Amino acid sequence: MTSNTTPADETLGYEQARDELIEVVRRLEAGGTSLEESLALWERGEELAKVCRRWLEGARARLDAALAEEADEDEEGAAGD
């Protein structure tokens, strides 16, 4: 992870980060927080969004690799026919 995340963020799974992000957004939308607390929530939300993005990018890379491998196998199979 990057230096913008806390050590705890490195162990967050996608679902955990997503659920916490949903809670942060809910609290921000509800209002009633001080400016300082709102800024802290916003910053935490940005960190959580980065964690989620990293998980999704990793999943996309794995899917792309699996699809590329499948396409290679299909090409090899077609060449052997």
pTM, whole model, 2 decimals? Answer: 0.75
13-28: pLDDT as tens digits: 999 999 999 999 999 9
Q: Which residues of 28-59 are buried (b: 16+ CB within 10 A; e: fewer)?
A: eeeeeeeeeeeeebeebbebbebbbebbeeee
Please say if the pLDDT value at position 79 is more than 90.
no
Res 38: pLDDT = 97
Res 1: pLDDT = 42
Name the residue with higher pLDDT: 7 or 35.
35
42-55: pLDDT as tens digits: 999 999 999 999 99
